[in-house]
Amino acid sequence: MSQTDPIADMLTRIRNAVQARKKEVSLPSSGIKIEIAKILREEGFIRNYKVIEDKKQGILNIILKYAEDNQNVITGIRRVSSPGCRIYCTKDSVPKVLDGLGLAIVSTSKGLMSGQKCEEAGIGGEVLCSIW
């Protein structure tokens, strides 16, 4: 199986695990996936994550989060920019996901940031994904 878009693969695995009510999901690790997981944890969409070292690239284990009444914290997750069609935003056009209830993850010259942090820092970049 050829991996053309590892970020889309990560988002799909999270989406499927949430729908199946799994406690955690494991996927091949990479620097950008760890950064995405870090932002998801900071913004409260996942409980935690850990990187399990193996002899290859490592495994990223994401512990999913559910509300008190077992409701999904993540109701939707979507890849915005793809390898075939990159989507960029300027500092003035950072996308608002669900009027600020959701989260856009943007790849900037200063690393990955949430859309809100991009606005605060006054920089734009490539819009990787949105989550709500």
Integer CA distances (angstroms), 123 to 73, 84, 101, 114, in order? 28, 23, 21, 11
- Quick check: do 6-64 and 77-131 share a fold? no
Q: Which amino acid would we find at residue 34?
A: I
Q: What pLDDT is stored for residue 3 in this prediction?
A: 58
Per domain, the residue ranges of the chain are 6-64, 77-131
Q: What is the mean pLDDT of residues 9-19?
A: 95
| Assigned CATH for 77-131 | 3.30.1490.10
| The CATH number of the domain covering residues in 6-64 | 3.30.1370.30
Cα–Cα dist 114/77, whole Å: 14
For the whole model, what pTM was predicted?
0.90
- 2-6, 29-33, 63-67, 109-113: lowest mean pLDDT where? 2-6
3-state helix, strand, coil in the chain (%, to 5): 25, 35, 40
Q: Of all residues in the chain, what percent carry a pLDDT higher than 70?
A: 98
pLDDT classification of 124: cutoffs 50, 70, 90: very high
